[in-house]
Amino acid sequence: MLDKIEQRIKFLRDEINKYDYHYYVLAEPLISDYEYDQLYKELEKLEAEYPQFITPDSPTQRVGKDLTKEFKPVNHLFPMLSLSNTYTEEDLIDFDKRIKKEIQEDEVEYVVEYKIDGASISLRYTNGQLVTAATRGDGNVGEDITNNAKTIRAIPLKIPLELVEKYNLTEFEARGEIYMSISDFNLLNSERLKSGEKTFANPRNFAAGSLKLQDPQIVAERKLNVFLYALLGTGIKSSTHWENLNILKECGFRINPHSKLCKNIKEVIDYCNHLESKRNSLDYEVDGAVIKVNSLLIQQQLGNIAKSPRWAVAYKFKAKQAKTKIRDIVWQVGRTGAVTPVAELEPVFLAGSKISRATLHNYDEIKRKDIRVGDSVIIEKGGDVIPKVVEVIKEERKPDSIETKPPEKCPVCNSKIYFPDNEAAAYCENYECPAQIKARLVHFASRGAMDIEGLGDALIDLLVDKGFLKSFPDIYKLKNYRDELIKIERLGQKSVDKLLANIEKSKKQPFHKVLFALGIRYVGAGVSQKLVEHFSNINELINASEESLNAIYEIGPNISKSIIRFFSDKNNLKIIEDLINLGLNFETEKRETNTKNFFTGKTFVLTGTLNSLSREEASQKIIELGGKVSSSVSKNTDYVIAGEKAGSKLDKANSLGIKILNEEEFLQFLKEAEKTIND
Ligand code: IVH
């Protein structure tokens, strides 16, 4: 009897897995939804009565009931690399030439695939069973999202053991992209709109966000899908990427049907153009093609530079365009007081999201393109950027249309607008303008800065309007107004306490984030990081001269001037003093290199491409070892480090008689210096 039940459970499990495969992977349903539901219900019922027969690959085990409290770190078996980009046919020809030269071959085979615009995933299988699903993370360590990935029916929970044996797949990782189809995404958004819920920005963010939800039951309701594009493991019986794709397919994974094996770079280019011309007929977002060397041996020979393989590149497609109409042109005030024009558009779908606004950059741009309210326009969106108006269709313009005028007064505080001579931007010069106050605070609390969870746009608007917030220190004084805050509609005790706790927590943010949070013009996250490498506390930075700032690699005159201007304002100094007293971090632990080494006190200039590390990494290492890195060669330069394709800096160094190090010599010095430090 029990035997029979076990057999029936196994039969149902295999049947349902087969129907899932046909439905979700092949998109060829074999039975009706009703018949499927009957089988599923029977399996659920039997498993409830005989839980001893539940196996991890049962379809009923896809959706767990437990919340994922934290996403644990997962070490990838092989790093998850990113791709460098190419944009033109010439770029592709160069890529091919480089490879042929390196491996001394006349012709190389490539596989061309769509580059799916979703969230990357790595699925690890041991002995044919799915054991872990992980996000990309930093490329070496991802986050464990197994519970969420299992809800995606196109992901097999197990693969047939005979195939494990046939291809030696005892331990492997299948890599791919999780995405949501454009039609499902649009349907979801229109339903949310109807029920008054906030819509999602685009399918990519939606997919990435879904994988990080704590409740797998919610993930299961989201129609996520997957395309696998890589198979990795040791000893797999295959010698090409094309074979790998076919093995994945045979094992039941979902593979994009538009991939092609190309004999040479000419075929690659033709096929890239073909893929680009067909992109609008797809029901998923793609942002380019990926070109991969087919032979795994050649892939291995070519290896990687920094975080990208040398055997693959992405070929980016041109930005997608759409036609729409300008309903209105409004002026927005940013945190620096810049007043920028924004076009309000008749909503259109473009690159997976509904667009109803586009930036017009500045008044000069409006004048140059003669953009007017009521105009029919072509808008464009590339990657992550905000859509922009590329062209006005003048033939469709009504005769009574009016030329757009620059703003005279700030749309928010009515102050006079100022147009600096050398800039296209217009400014509201009132530092107390509510729009500027709000934008500064939003930036201060944002994720890359003080990262105060819960203190977003809407709450800042409210707290500024109610007079609680005006400048950064006010945020840290909110705890004195707890009772008043609780009385504000929408807030309540629990959320106020949570907010206050998050505010306190933000005091631990490191110096470079605090510096970034201050919102000094041109001082973004990267520049802040650079600055704290050179100035270990805020006083050193406040007292820095323009020359010493300019001497820092990658810090140009505009940034230096802006920093000097910021710290010469008494108001700003007072804010910093208050923030120091409130306990924010304005200093960093500078790594003192007490042992003198080759780099200590010397100035280096980097030029050309280094193979084993990026310029950024090289300069970081030099600085850590007590050296300086400058962007231009002068008589103060001690050494020029010249990588491949070094240009004019190398010529200048030669003419000044400055010593040159090639990559190998530089690495050797690095190794020795690091050894002295570690000893
Ligand atoms: S191959 C070493 N193939 O693009 C090669 N990546 O920068 C690594 N992506 O986030 C990736 N479609 O998830 C490859 N057909 C495809 C892809 C693809 C999308 C994503 C990938 C990663 C990024 C690579």
Structure tokens at 244: 């790998």
> Could you tell me if 38 and 183 lie in one domain?
no
Q: Which among 298, 316, 334 is the end of a domain? A: 316
> Could you tell me if 244 and 301 lie in one domain?
yes
- Asked if pLDDT for residue 384 goes beyond 60, the answer is no
Region 466-480: mean pLDDT is 95
**pLDDT band with cut points at 50, 70 and 90 for residue 557:** confident
What are 176's strand-pairing partners?
A: 121, 228
Instruction: Give me the number of domains the chain comprises.
Output: 6
> Could you tell me if 167 and 247 lie in one domain?
yes
Q: 345 with 327: CB under 8 angstroms?
A: yes
Task: Choose one of 86, 112, 115 to mutate for the ligand 1 pocket test, by most ligand atoms within 8 angstroms of C-beta.
Answer: 115
Whether 77 maps to a domain, the answer reads: no
Q: Is 482 helix (H, G, I), strand (E, B) or coil?
A: helix
Q: Which among 451, 475, 508 is the end of a domain? A: 508
CA of 83 to the centre of ligand 1 (A): 7
> Could you tell me if 483 and 524 lie in one domain?
no
Q: Does 506 contact ligand 1 (Cβ within 6 A)? A: no
Q: 124 with 132: CB under 8 angstroms?
A: yes
The CATH number given to whatever domain includes residue 643 is 3.40.50.10190
The CATH number given to whatever domain includes residue 441 is 1.10.150.20
Whether 629 maps to a domain, the answer reads: yes
Q: Does 290 contact ligand 1 (Cβ within 6 A)? A: yes
Q: Does 244 contact ligand 1 (Cβ within 6 A)? A: no
Q: 293 with 244: CB under 8 angstroms?
A: no
Q: Does 229 contact ligand 1 (Cβ within 6 A)? A: yes
Index of the ligand 1 atom closest to the CA of residue 113: 15
Q: 519 with 570: CB under 8 angstroms?
A: no
Index of the ligand 1 atom closest to the CA of residue 176: 13
> Could you tell me if 265 and 154 lie in one domain?
yes
CA of 177 to the centre of ligand 1 (A): 8
The protein residue whose alpha carbon is closest to atom 6 in ligand 1 is 115
The protein residue whose alpha carbon is closest to atom 17 in ligand 1 is 115
Index of the ligand 1 atom closest to the CA of residue 311: 2
Going by the DSSP 8-state scheme, the letter that residue 333 receives in this structure is E
Region 617-636: mean pLDDT is 82
How far is Cα 458 from Cα 489, in angstroms, rounded to an integer? Answer: 13
Whether 46 maps to a domain, the answer reads: yes
Q: Does 313 contact ligand 1 (Cβ within 6 A)? A: no
> Could you tell me if 490 and 522 lie in one domain?
no
- Asked if pLDDT for residue 550 goes beyond 90, the answer is no
pLDDT of residue 444: 96
Q: Does 120 contact ligand 1 (Cβ within 6 A)? A: yes
Whether 387 maps to a domain, the answer reads: yes
> Could you tell me if 108 and 181 lie in one domain?
yes
How far is Cα 248 from Cα 246, in angstroms, rounded to an integer? Answer: 5
Q: Does 81 contact ligand 1 (Cβ within 6 A)? A: yes
**pLDDT band with cut points at 50, 70 and 90 for residue 169:** very high
Q: Which among 297, 316, 335 is the end of a domain? A: 316
> Could you tell me if 517 and 501 lie in one domain?
no
The protein residue whose alpha carbon is closest to atom 12 in ligand 1 is 115
Helical segments of 338-384, H only: 363-369
> Could you tell me if 163 and 272 lie in one domain?
yes
How far is Cα 276 from Cα 270, in angstroms, rounded to an integer? Answer: 10
pLDDT of residue 515: 96
> Could you tell me if 484 and 537 lie in one domain?
no
Q: Does 207 contact ligand 1 (Cβ within 6 A)? A: no
Q: Does 83 contact ligand 1 (Cβ within 6 A)? A: yes
Whether 421 maps to a domain, the answer reads: no
Whether 75 maps to a domain, the answer reads: no
The protein residue whose alpha carbon is closest to atom 21 in ligand 1 is 120
The CATH number given to whatever domain includes residue 21 is 1.10.287.610
Whether 539 maps to a domain, the answer reads: yes
What are 392's strand-pairing partners?
A: 377
Whether 594 maps to a domain, the answer reads: no
- Asked if pLDDT for residue 576 goes beyond 70, the answer is yes
Please give the full DSSP string across 44-79, using - where no structure is assigned: HHHHHH-GGG--TTSGGGSS-SS---S--EEE-SS-
| Residue 381: other Cβ atoms inside 10 A | 20
**pLDDT band with cut points at 50, 70 and 90 for residue 100:** very high
Q: 43 with 20: CB under 8 angstroms?
A: no
The CATH number given to whatever domain includes residue 384 is 2.40.50.140
CA of 289 to the centre of ligand 1 (A): 9
What range defines the domain where residue 22 resides? 2-61
The tens digit of pLDDT for each residue in 482-503 reads: 999 998 877 889 999 999 999 9
Best CA proximity match to 199, nearest among 311, 355, 11, 387 = 355
The CATH number given to whatever domain includes residue 173 is 3.30.470.30
> Could you tell me if 312 and 325 lie in one domain?
no
- Asked if pLDDT for residue 424 goes beyond 70, the answer is yes
More confident site: 353 or 127: 127
Half-sphere exposure of 231 (CA within 13 A, CB side): 29
Q: Which of 72, 115, 438, 508 is catalytic?
A: 115
pLDDT of residue 263: 97
> Could you tell me if 15 and 126 lie in one domain?
no
How far is Cα 295 from Cα 99, in angstroms, rounded to an integer? Answer: 12
Task: Choose one of 258, 290, 304 to mutate for the ligand 1 pocket test, by most ligand atoms within 8 angstroms of C-beta.
Answer: 290
The tens digit of pLDDT for each residue in 433-471 reads: 999 999 999 999 998 899 999 998 889 999 999 999 999
Best CA proximity match to 224, nearest among 62, 16, 31 = 62
Active site residue 115: yes
| Residue 493: other Cβ atoms inside 10 A | 11
The tens digit of pLDDT for each residue in 37-57 reads: 999 999 999 999 999 999 989
Going by the DSSP 8-state scheme, the letter that residue 63 receives in this structure is S
Q: 505 with 454: CB under 8 angstroms?
A: no
